[in-house]
Structure 1
Amino acid sequence: MNKVKLSNRSIEISYKDAGEGIPVLLLHGFCGSSSYWDAVVPLLQSQCRLIVPDLPGHGKSGVPQSPYPIEAFADDMADLLQQLNIGKAVWLGHSLGGYVTLAAAERHADRVGAFGLIHSTAYPDDEKGKEGRLKAIQTVLDSGIVPFVDGLIPKLFAPEHVESMSDKVEEAKKIGYATPPEGAVVTLEAMRDRPDRNEVLRQAACPVLLVAGENDQIIKPDKTFSVQSDSIRHALLNKVGHMSMMEHPEQLADKLSAFLKTIRL
């Protein structure tokens, strides 16, 4: 892992850097880390340069102080690219990473040459979702990260994969256990308060890829495919839930590779 100190923050960001070519920023989901992408990176690194960070509050990156909105995560990732002397990149965000990507497309258009949402959505949390975030925060504060992750991770996989891919479920749990509790709480607050960014999709001047899982129990395909336009591609992955990078990395990599071949930065 590489590390860089953020220009305007007191925290460090850990990241992996693999491959050569068009720069691609791969952002993981909540209670994940750069390790979420371990099966995808080898499938793409001959085509592009992959920058794969641990988001603030996750993995081996530093934990920011609350409040820390989604916009701050986006600013941090733009700062990371600047420190790596990367102008524009393709931003590909899974779940939480998609929320960060949308904020970056809105705030740092000069850094976003194209972007993709993977099992993510431009919609904000509804009232039920916001209540769920508060309950999750309380669970982490009361019981710690391990019981919370144990309850979260199986829901991320397609129901039929919880047993048949039990090794992958356990791998995702181990990654989640490394999330500092304070980082989980700060991120839950950020996700709860994020705004509707469907207008960012509608106004996108660059190519966009929207990827959904057929059996995603967390973000249904219609929540991902919220906007249609000439600049937006939709890709539905068969027989996967919220974790295609683990459930079927080859299928996800094929969709990402086809999209990346169309991009000129």
Structure 2
Amino acid sequence: MNKIKLSTGTTLAYVEAGNGRPIVVLHGFCGSHSYWDEVLPLLAVHGRVIAPDLRGHGESTAGEGVYAMEKLAEDLAALMDELELPQIDLIGHSLGGYIALAFAEKYPERLRTIGLAHSTAYPDTEQAKENRLKAASAIRQDGIVPFVDGLVPKLFTAEHRSNLSEQLGKAKAIGYGTSVDGAAGCALGMRDRRDRVDVLERLEVPILLLAGELDEVIPPDKRFPVSKDNVTKITLEGVAHMGMMENPQAFAANVGEFLERNRGI
């Protein structure tokens, strides 16, 4: 585990594997770099894979307030500066995808490719915004454990809740490591995020949109907001919102194929 104090004021923890072309993978809400444990060695054959803990998650430091997607994108840019990475391939899972889009909007020249995994460019619905407020309040009132216990099972398919009980338990344990400030701040930041379909429409770099067939978090009508020559759309069969843990081999194979296909760009 490595840690770096960034110019944005936070200290980010990260792990890495492999060498060569830098590939950054961003985990989802109440996750950490450990979401990628099984995927990391599979992707490392394609380059130097860097998996940070987002601000307020895992071993990265936290602070009070709203964690705007733009602020988290600035953390990523600062991490790249510290590691002397002018450009990256960027894969974001769920919340990580929202951050990736904010990064793409502000720093498009620093991307080689971008991938959204179990994520969307659309903003929250009004009902979802209300739920984010309730989540932030519940986290601050009751702590992180009961919130994670309620959240994580919804991220796996019904079948995987039983036959992947070890992975589900691991996802819960990872979630328990999220700070109260980090979880509440990200809930509010996700609530405030804007519609970034236009960002995808403008981007000229290769784009991967990877969805879970049975995802109950990202509905089918929100998974593939754009269709262009530079967009690759993939649906992972039999998984919900946690493809990197539910079927890491298929997840890594599809991401790896996308990266290799666009290696010369």
Counterpart contact for 2:8–2:74, Cα < 8 Å? no
Aligned to 2:33: 34
What TM-score do the two structures reach when normalised by structure 2? 0.98
Aligned to 2:3: 3
Aligned to 1:84: 83
Q: Secondary structure at the match of 2:173?
A: helix
Q: Secondary structure at the match of 1:43?
A: helix
Aligned to 1:62: 61
CA distance in 1, matches of 2:230, 2:29: 28
Aligned to 1:263: 263
4+ aligned runs moved over 2 Å, structure 1: none
Q: Secondary structure at the match of 1:63?
A: coil
The runs of 5 or more residues in structure 1 that have no matched partner are none
Counterpart contact for 1:221–1:236, Cα < 8 Å? no
Bigger shift: residues 40-49 or 88-97: 40-49
CA distance in 1, matches of 2:51, 2:264: 20
State the one-letter code of the partner of 1:198: V
Aligned to 1:190: 189
How far is the alpha carbon of 1:64 from its aligned partner?
A: 2.8
Q: In the TM superposition, what whole-angstrom CA distance separates every residue of 1:101-141 from its partner, at most 9, and x where no partner exists?
A: 00000001121111000000000001010011011112111
CA RMSD for the aligned pairs? 0.9
State the one-letter code of the partner of 1:182: D
How far is the alpha carbon of 1:57 from its aligned partner?
A: 0.8
How far is the alpha carbon of 1:65 from its aligned partner?
A: 3.0
What TM-score do the two structures reach when normalised by structure 1? 0.98
How far is the alpha carbon of 1:195 from its aligned partner?
A: 0.0
Aligned to 1:119: 118
Counterpart contact for 1:213–1:220, Cα < 8 Å? no
Aligned to 2:229: 230
How many aligned residue pairs are there? Answer: 264
Counterpart contact for 1:213–1:221, Cα < 8 Å? no
Q: Secondary structure at the match of 1:215?
A: coil
Aligned to 1:134: 133
Counterpart contact for 1:114–1:263, Cα < 8 Å? no
The runs of 5 or more residues in structure 2 that have no matched partner are none
